[in-house]
């Protein structure tokens, strides 16, 4: 082992939580919870990350209520699953890794056939995700629906703290429910929840307040945002700076600066090869396969990858807020990690790099300049829909243990 260690391996506090290093596994929907119940495969997935040395792993997409699930195989933070979720969290923690839960809600974008009625978002219209499966439309939330949603986040936060999560990550980005309210592209409401940035922030800030009230002042709350949606009329960097200032003022502990949306422009968050071949490989719905073949090249164009491709935009947010900052986007090497920390970020979230190299932190301890073997082919994205759950097709041997 070399005598000079990488600064990414130094400890740092997030609110009252001490993390042993600066490397956090990003939330990725694992698709390892059949019928919403976490099983051994999900524990094994995160256990591999824990044994590899990450300070904290994020359990992806923990729906705050059944109506917030994209499909019926997503985790739901509900008493029916208390024992299973508690065992999952404790099993990971026993390996010396902290656990964050990514609080999500799909809003108007769902193919969850267990819903009572249509999915709901800031406005009504087509349900683009469920259209191919006969769930054609979504409804606009009434004020009573908004009250229920705020309450659902608060109740889910209480539940998640009670089963042992070390931190909570509220998903404000990527086109999901709260992002649908933040974006002028998907929010054309005429009431106090639409229009100006201040109005579009109203629901996300109420959700943050409800979560904070539920978990207390010393419990870490993280927010994930999209710095840009990459669409005319959508969230721009200038908007995201205002959003982050408001979250910071409202008491959030850390902000993750991502980009793009899952619904409109996912390649902004990935970069590299198109995700289309992988989506086609695992898509079972014939109608959706036809749509992908006809429109996929335009929807999912390859975008040039370069190291730290979101850093310049993220640095502008770093200057605008006082809370901790978590960088994500093309951080692939020890040199990248050092640079990101040197310019003022506190932690680094890793997605694809840890799918390809679950033991990257351990390798970094042995070789401070280590570079992940991920080649940004993005074929891991489609594996979310595979029987094996999300994995790196190049380096996964088909067994989780």
Tell me which residues are annotated as active site. Answer: 176
Token couple for 176: 């999901």
Distance of alpha carbon 25 from alpha carbon 54, whole angstroms:
7
Asked if residue 16 lies in contact with residue 218, where contact means CB atoms within 8 angstroms, the answer is: yes
Question: What DSSP state is assigned to residue 333?
Answer: B
Distance of alpha carbon 257 from alpha carbon 262, whole angstroms:
15
HSE toward the beta carbon, residue 163, CA cutoff 13 A: 24
- Name, in order, each residue with C-beta under 8 angstroms of 267's C-beta and a sequence gap of 6 or more: 260, 274, 275, 300, 301, 302, 303
Asked if residue 356 lies in contact with residue 49, where contact means CB atoms within 8 angstroms, the answer is: no
HSE toward the beta carbon, residue 93, CA cutoff 13 A: 15
For the range 43-47, what are the long-range contacts, defined as Cβ-Cβ under 8 Å and sequence gap of 24 or more? Answer: 43/87, 43/88, 43/91, 43/92, 44/400, 44/401, 45/389, 45/390, 45/400, 46/88, 46/92, 46/97, 46/99, 47/91, 47/92, 47/95
**How many residues are present in the chain?**
401
Q: What does R_g of the chain's alpha carbons equal in angstroms?
A: 20
């Amino acid at each position: 082992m070399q005598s000079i260690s990488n600064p990414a391996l130094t400890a740092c506090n997030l609110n009252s939580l001490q993390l042993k290093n600066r490397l956090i596994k990003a939330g990725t929907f694992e698709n390892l919870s059949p019928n919403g119940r976490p099983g051994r495969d999900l524990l094994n997935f995160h256990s591999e990350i824990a044994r590899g040395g990450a300070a904290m792993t994020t359990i992806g997409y923990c729906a705050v209520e059944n109506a917030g699930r994209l499909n019926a195989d997503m985790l739901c933070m509900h008493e029916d699953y208390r024992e299973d979720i508690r065992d999952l969290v404790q099993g990971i923690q026993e390996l010396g890794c902290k656990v964050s839960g990514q609080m999500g809600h799909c809003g108007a974008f769902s193919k969850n056939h267990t819903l009572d009625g249509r999915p709901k978002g800031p406005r009504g219209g087509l349900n683009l995700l469920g259209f191919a499966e006969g769930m054609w439309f979504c409804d606009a939330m009434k004020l009573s629906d908004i009250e229920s949603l705020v309450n659902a986040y608060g109740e889910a936060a209480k539940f998640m703290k009670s089963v042992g999560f070390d931190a909570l990550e509220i998903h404000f980005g990527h086109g999901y429910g709260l992002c649908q309210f933040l974006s002028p592209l998907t929010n054309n409401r005429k009431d106090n929840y639409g229009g100006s940035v201040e109005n579009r922030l109203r629901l996300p800030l109420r959700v943050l307040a409800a979560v904070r009230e539920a978990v207390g002042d010393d419990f870490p709350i993280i927010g994930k945002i999209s710095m840009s949606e990459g669409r005319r009329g959508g969230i721009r960097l200038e908007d995201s700076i205002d959003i982050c200032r408001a979250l910071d003022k409202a008491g959030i502990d850390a902000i993750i600066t991502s980009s793009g949306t899952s619904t409109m422009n996912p390649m902004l968050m990935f970069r590299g090869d198109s995700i289309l071949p992988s989506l086609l490989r695992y898509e079972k719905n014939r109608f959706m396969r036809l749509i992908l073949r006809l429109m996929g090249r335009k929807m999912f164009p390859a975008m040039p990858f370069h190291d730290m491709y979101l850093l310049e935009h993220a640095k502008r947010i770093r200057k605008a807020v006082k809370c901790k900052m978590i960088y994500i986007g093309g951080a692939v090497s020890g040199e990248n990690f050092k640079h990101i920390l040197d310019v003022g970020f506190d932690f680094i979230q890793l997605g694809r790099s840890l799918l390809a190299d679950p033991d990257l932190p351990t390798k970094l301890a042995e070789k401070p300049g280590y570079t992940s073997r991920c080649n940004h082919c993005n074929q891991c994205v489609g594996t979310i829909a595979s029987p094996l759950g999300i994995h790196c097709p190049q380096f996964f041997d088909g067994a989780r243990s």
